[in-house]
Amino acid sequence: MNKSPTQGETPSDLIDTRILELDDWRGEVLTKLRALIKKADPDVQEEWKWNVPVWSHDGLICTGESYKKAVKLTFAKGASLEDPSGLFTSSLEGKVRRAIDFPEGCTIDERAFKALINEAVKLNVSHRK
């Protein structure tokens, strides 16, 4: 899918469509991650940029890309976040971003994931002041 929101179509609608298009384990993982993001931050805003789902709160938190072997969440300021549970699995050498790859059959540490989302929001809010 390569589209922008049309009149009456929200970014959340586009994310719903992406999930339906995946029609396999990747859609299930993206659905679960989306729910965890919303649970961690009820004020999160869903956006559609660069042809991928984006979650923001006072700035970009993360993007959700879908690949053949993984769903990847890329945290815009991941290098500035504490990751005591070791969730970040890629882009570890980057100076700004960090990412988490969720392959088929993965187990999501919900507590640690929500804590990471909360830390990303806290960082965004602190930079706003």
| Fold category of 11-128 in CATH | Aspartate Aminotransferase, domain 1 (3.90.1150)
**Per-residue pLDDT tens over the stretch 49-81:** 999 999 999 999 999 999 999 999 999 999 999
Q: Which residue has the higher pLDDT, 91 or 30?
A: 30
Which pair of structure tokens corresponds to residue 66?
């879908």
72 and 102 in contact (C-beta within 8 Å)? yes
CA 84/CA 102 separation, integer angstroms: 18
pLDDT at 91 over 90: no
What is the per-residue pLDDT for 5?
55
The residue ranges of every structural domain in the chain are 11-128
3-class SS of residue 116: helix
pTM, two decimal places: 0.91
Which pair of structure tokens corresponds to residue 70?
């993984």
Rg, C-alpha atoms of the chain: 14
In the chain, the amino acid numbered 42 is P
What is the per-residue pLDDT for 92?
75
pLDDT at 119 over 90: yes
